[in-house]
Amino acid sequence: MTYTLLISTDDTKGLVYNISSILYQHDLNIEKNDEFVDKEHNSFFMRTEIVGTLDEAKLLSQIKQALPQGAKVKLITKRKKSLILLATKENHCIGDLLLRYENNELNADIKAVIANRENLKTLVERFGIPFYWVDSDNKPKAQYEREMIQIIDSFKPDFLALAKYMRILSPDFVRHYKDMIINIHHSFLPAFVGANPYKQAYDRGVKIIGATAHFVTQDLDGGPIIAQDITQINHTYSWQDMQKAGRNIEKNVFALALDLVLNDRVFLNGNKTIIF
């Protein structure tokens, strides 16, 4: 059996040695190990891939005893995570994820797609994935979100991915799925807010287009960043060319961020992330 051991704790001497010794005592093989020390906050992070047969409760108990008080320890069995996609009507990010899913390139089991528009129904159902349309225009926001939560909770997902979902989530919704929601957006924020940011960027002569994937928190578009990328453009680009280039970056950055999260490679460290 393959496991991933995740540890975050105050930094002290001998942590790697102590943890490795316990794994050795349990006859577990370390296939990959990464660690990082945040010196500013004296914090230690460790991600270890291990193989073998183990008594989970006993192993975790011994590791916690060897760590400073307050340490966070997770032992995760290697498996596909369950994922729900939230969308509106843009198809580039969700289409890319569905293709990766069909080609077994995404370490996830996509349980459903929930959208506040019906545009993507035909696309989604081609992949044999349930599609739920929850109308957001003709009911109070609280009722709309309650309906979404009822659907989402029936699947008990590990994560939610906002595949160009164009609604602002309420604090209650975000709190209900704390540290579970991943979003993607262009990196023009906060400069170009609102409709057609690419036209706004074109009018300002922007020379770089980018995308940012992050965890969703109460701070709108200000959660811990998981992945980013940029591409250079020039004066020959129309705003439509810029939009096309931006969408390509968005889908690639989103897929990368989800790959990192789904494979347990991301630690939250305040409003930042540690990526292994």
In the numeric block, which tokens belong to residue 237?
Answer: 């680009």
Catalytic residue among 10, 11, 38, 221: 221
Q: Are 213 and 173 in contact (CB under 8 A)?
A: no
In the numeric block, which tokens belong to residue 65?
Answer: 């005893």
Q: Are 238 and 271 in contact (CB under 8 A)?
A: no
Residue given tokens 């994560």 in the structure block? 159
Enumerate the domain spans of the chain: 1-75, 79-273
Tens-digit pLDDT profile for residues 106-162: 999 999 999 999 999 999 999 999 999 999 988 899 999 999 999 999 999 999 999
Tens-digit pLDDT profile for residues 24-39: 999 999 999 999 999 9
CA distances from 60 to 26, 46, 64, 144 (A): 11, 14, 6, 41
- For residues 205 and 45, which has the higher predicted lDDT (pLDDT)? 45
11 in catalytic set: no
Please give the model's pTM, rounded to 2 decimal places: 0.94
- C-alpha–C-alpha distance, residues 110 and 159, integer Å: 10
Pick the CATH number of 79-273 from 3.30.460.80, 3.40.50.170, 3.40.50.10860, 3.30.1330.60: 3.40.50.170
Pick the CATH number of 1-75 from 3.40.50.620, 3.30.2290.10, 3.30.70.260, 3.40.50.300: 3.30.70.260
Tens-digit pLDDT profile for residues 254-266: 999 999 999 999 9
Q: Is the peptide bond preceding residue 190 cis, with omega within 30 degrees of 0? A: yes
Q: 72 by DSSP, 3-state: which?
A: strand
